[in-house]
Amino acid sequence: MHGAFYETQDHPPVPALPPRPKSIEYLNRSTPSPVLPSSSFSKSPALPTPPRLPPRPSVSATHRARAKSINNTDMTAGFKETMEPPPSTFKAKGGHFAEDMPRRRKNKMDVLNSTLANTRSRSKSISDVPTSSNSGSRHKKHHHRRKSPPLAPSGRSHAMAVYPDYTQVDRKPPFGGGHQRYIAANHPAGVIRAVAASRDRIATACYSVKLWDAAGQNTGCIKHGDGLSPHDHSSLGDTTTNAASQELMMAITMQERINCLTFAPGMRYLWAGLEDGRILVMDTVKPRIVHELRMHEHGIVFILSVAQELWTLDESGAMIRWPWDTRSGVAADVGEEEDEEDEDDEAIRARLMHDGYVHQVTPRTVAAAVITAEDWHSLWLTSKSGRTLDVYKFPTAQSSSPKHTIVCPSRVATIPNDLRDITHMVTLQPQPGQAARLVCGHDDGYVTIWNADTLVLEHVVRVSVYEVTAMLLTGENRLWIAFKTGVIHIYDIQQTPWKALKMWEAHSGPIIKFVLECDAECKGIRVISTDSHGHIAIWDGLLLATWEDQRVEKLMLENSAYRDTRVHICSWNIDARSPDQLTVTDKERVAEWLGAGAERDPDILAIGLQEIVDLESKRQTARSFYMSRRKQDKQEAHEELQLKEQYGAWRGYFTETVAAAYGDVYTLVKTEHLVGLYSLVFVKSALAVREIQSTTVKTGLRVMNKSLHGNKGGIAIRLLLEDASFCFVNCHLAAGQSHVRQRNLDAETILRTAKFPPLSGQDVRTMRGGGDGTYILDHAHTFFSGDLNYRLDHWSKQDVVQCLRDQTEVSGKRMMYRHLIAEDQLQKQRQDHPLLNMLTLFDELEIQFDPTYKYNRGTDAYDTSVKQRVPAWCDRILHRSIAQAENTLYRRHEVLASDHRPIAASFDLRTVSKIVIPPA
């Protein structure tokens, strides 16, 4: 999972685009034209370069003024260190695209009194930002040159921003055949520029093309720029009878990289587009170059295989549709495997039935997709920094009309201003009675779905805060999405909201490409992903292992034995107090806080303390980085001694208090400390626990987004009770009223980077989501508690205190708590930005107690210092459970020693006592 915070940046002005030529008329040829010799391609005249249009107007100043920075944290759990996400100006709130309007200061007491009197909760109005009026400016001029395409509505004011459902996500990689398959292509430049796949064949390219089988074994190499001599046959097979191929390879230099690869219909011949505009046709059965096409003057950016044609697009927008005969004049079904018989060069060139149809389309294309129909193919394009989706319609080879007029483009859809540039597109073929859909990934982590008939933006889904770098559709409903962080998500897009099926770290670098590959019998589907570091990975596109694991897990849960388990969680920021500073009354209330006197004793008692020492002294330690080594050692030794004394004092106190409250029925199974944090876990001595381990994560002082000194952080303790896994997290997040982003980042850092030793054998089955126990979220029952430090927005201390004083009846207090909690930062982050706060994965019982922070020590009075801090629920207990969990208690306790009140929560869980694995 990856996330960070950043400031919003303005959009740069959109650069000028060259115009497109007039409509092109041509005759649909029923017979192939005479085949031209190879030399004729090199002498073909270059496509004319059209004149440039005047610059488009820049993004409006009003829109830039309205832009507002947002917090950004990815949802993916447990993978790597945080990274800086791209800037964004888009915000989703309440399920709508919402304009960030300045808040007007209100009288909170008047609002509350009105709310209580009418028993209605407060509502907020959400305004839609109007779409910029200049969105289609580049199509308004030059009407004398071409027909102006209709501009489709952007759907700006009707789009609903939703988030997928991540509750049942599995993060086990879908390895094909149950084992990991990574291939290091080892191209000379160290990167892969292009990749393609057919049945049991994979091709990768940079300056040369390498061929691989489905098992990842290198089966051949076609070099075109390494200075091979005419006598070097090591990687080209038998080329002694093909002098033309040798001369062709000698003419190409190492400066001409391969930009794109595509297998031609028939799956034997591979087309490679070079950055100088040339196209190479290669035989993958007997690795060699068999033909060269020289019709483009600029670098090839896309080669699309569409029915019986190959479409080549270059950077200038020149597009050529090449009719390709799959079997020397005998049409074969698309995708049908060709015979591996030898063909002479003349027969290979005869596959190009003529020199193609030439069109001018969108220049500088960055994403392309094709929607096929009976009589027409629709080509969807978007350009770099473009704000439109351009649609082109071309007739199929089976079209009955002998003459067609092509309008370029036929239609244009405007991209809403609040969405950033499109990086990738895939098509959803229409279901009976439905229109086809286009799915677009954006560089700010949004995915949009467009109706191909009406060009209306129908859905907007926020899947990440990172750039979508590749997408692929397997079957009818499984959408694979790759990100620049190297993470892959798989979603079931037929459900509403989308259901996240899988999420895992697939590569160490940005993923640049997905391709789909079927085996020879078409019984399996493999997804090949490629990263920017020159590696490819092969995944099971059918997710067979995942469905089998889920089937076994379902049977296992149905047949396993269960027990009722009670867990009691205690959290308290003790403000550097010692046990000897507690009054008699405080000690009685501490015993009550630990669960003494409850109807049922807990099976597990987890205690988390924060600020066991003065954190102001730890800030001073941070300044010790500038001290001499000798002074640093002396200060650290003094602090370590203080910490040991405090840890020992509280450990002894809690051990005695638990024994006095419950008798000798509990055993202290684990303690762990981290600067001001201290965690203790007691378990009933009669219960068998194992795999008791702990880990810590420092947060606080950050340099280059790395925690160097931890005056804040988290402790995680893991244990297995019989066949149920538990994880207890005690944390202290960043302080400060306005540091919401830092708190989000601290929580994410703890949940993502805390790592335990992975489990093995039968113990792995106690985990959830395909995890092996390495990460916190792998465990079946997870508790996240501590001083989370989330505050109340838009309230003053006087208003909050008056609310608490005026409402004495139970019904009035309940309404007051709901009114106050509506401005609680944690609640707002969980509701409005589920991808920006990982704590959205947890549940919390409704709060029915007064704010726990900040008090004057030893009194019931809220902060009377100069700072006048607003009372807030800084101390929280959250939980996440795979099975039935009932939160039976959530309350505060009136221990006055600290400036925080301690809180406690009890949970009744249905846990697995013995896993029963069904027979295969």
Prior bond to 797 cis, omega within 30? no
Q: Give the pLDDT confidence score for residue 341 in this predicted structure.
A: 63
Which tokens belong to 655? 């051990």
Please tell me whether the overall predicted TM-score, pTM, comes out greater than 0.85 for this model: no
Type and span of the H or E element at 516? strand 511-518
**Does the pLDDT of residue 336 top 90, yes or no?**
no
Prior bond to 37 cis, omega within 30? no
Mean pLDDT, the chain, whole residue set: 78
**Does the pLDDT of residue 581 top 80, yes or no?**
yes
pLDDT 10s digits, 417-472: 889 999 999 999 887 788 899 999 999 899 999 999 999 999 999 999 899 999 99
Span 200-220, average pLDDT: 86
Helix, strand, coil distribution of the chain in percent, nearest 5 = 20, 35, 45
Whole-number Å distance between alpha carbons of 871 and 499 = 38
Position 406 confidence tier, pLDDT thresholds 50, 70, 90: confident
Contacts of 398 (CB under 8 A, 6+ apart): 374, 375
Whole-number Å distance between alpha carbons of 312 and 324 = 13
Q: Give the pLDDT confidence score for residue 598 in this predicted structure.
A: 83
Query: If you average pLDDT over each of 159-173, 345-359, 634-648, 851-865, which comes out highest?
Result: 851-865
pLDDT 10s digits, 279-335: 999 988 888 888 889 999 999 999 999 988 999 999 999 999 998 886 643 333 444
DSSP 825: H
- Coil, strand or helix: which one is 134? coil
Q: Give the pLDDT confidence score for residue 288 in this predicted structure.
A: 86
Q: What's the burial of 87, exposed, middle or buried (CB within 10 Å: 0-12/13-18/19+)?
A: middle
Residue 816: strand pairing partners: none
Of 116-125, 512-521, 675-684, 745-754, the poorest mean pLDDT is in 116-125
Which tokens belong to 232? 């070097």
DSSP 354: S
Q: Give the pLDDT confidence score for residue 308 in this predicted structure.
A: 86
Three-class SS of 313-333: EECCCEEEEEEECCCCCCCCC
**Does the pLDDT of residue 794 top 80, yes or no?**
yes
**Does the pLDDT of residue 66 top 50, yes or no?**
no
- Coil, strand or helix: which one is 421? coil
Span 148-168, average pLDDT: 64
Of 16-20, 277-281, 287-291, 851-855, the poorest mean pLDDT is in 16-20
**Does the pLDDT of residue 704 top 90, yes or no?**
no
pLDDT 10s digits, 763-791: 999 998 888 999 999 999 999 999 999 99
Residue 854's alpha-carbon distances to 460, 470, 760, in angstroms, are 41, 48, 45
Whole-number Å distance between alpha carbons of 577 and 609 = 11
Which tokens belong to 157? 């004011």
Whole-number Å distance between alpha carbons of 767 and 771 = 6
* Opening angle at CA 803, ends 802 and 806, nearest 5: 80
**Does the pLDDT of residue 137 top 50, yes or no?**
no
Span 836-854, average pLDDT: 91
pLDDT 10s digits, 235-249: 333 433 344 444 444
Phi, psi of 280 (to 5 degrees): -105, 135
Token pair 């001001």 is at which residue? 676
Position 227 confidence tier, pLDDT thresholds 50, 70, 90: very low
Segment 642-648 long-range contacts (CB within 8 Å, at least 24 positions apart): 642/613, 643/612, 643/613, 643/673, 643/675, 646/578, 646/612, 646/613, 646/678, 647/612, 647/671, 647/673, 647/678
Span 888-896, average pLDDT: 96
Which tokens belong to 536? 């490819």
Q: Which of 224, 331, 217 is nearest to 279 (CA)?
A: 224
Q: Give the pLDDT confidence score for residue 567 in this predicted structure.
A: 97
Phi, psi of 44 (to 5 degrees): -65, 140
Whole-number Å distance between alpha carbons of 642 and 636 = 10
pLDDT 10s digits, 247-256: 444 344 445 8
**Does the pLDDT of residue 107 top 60, yes or no?**
no
Helix (H), strand (E) counts: the chain: 13, 47
More confident residue, 124 or 916: 916
Mind giving me the DSSP string for 49-86? Answer: PPPPPPPPPPPPHHHHHH-----EE----SSS---PPP
Span 72-81, average pLDDT: 39
Position 141 confidence tier, pLDDT thresholds 50, 70, 90: very low
Position 263 confidence tier, pLDDT thresholds 50, 70, 90: very high
pLDDT 10s digits, 348-395: 777 776 778 899 999 999 999 999 887 889 999 999 877 899 999 998
**Does the pLDDT of residue 112 top 60, yes or no?**
no
Position 342 confidence tier, pLDDT thresholds 50, 70, 90: low
Q: Give the pLDDT confidence score for residue 217 in this predicted structure.
A: 82
Residues in the chain: 920
**Does the pLDDT of residue 72 top 50, yes or no?**
no
Span 124-147, average pLDDT: 35
Q: What's the burial of 730, exposed, middle or buried (CB within 10 Å: 0-12/13-18/19+)?
A: buried
Domains of the chain are: 193-360 (2.40.128.630), 562-914 (3.60.10.10)
pLDDT 10s digits, 489-530: 999 999 888 999 999 999 988 999 999 987 656 567 889 999
DSSP 775: B
Position 344 confidence tier, pLDDT thresholds 50, 70, 90: low
Per DSSP, which regions of 552-676 are E strands? 561-573, 604-610, 666-674
Mind giving me the DSSP string for 362-412? Answer: -SSEEEEEEEE-SSEEEEEEEETT--EEEEEEEE-TT-S-SEEEE-SSSEE
More confident residue, 270 or 18: 270
Q: What is the dihedral of CA 154, 155, 160, 164, to 10 degrees?
A: -50
More confident residue, 183 or 26: 183
Residues 490/478, Cβ–Cβ less than 8 Å: yes
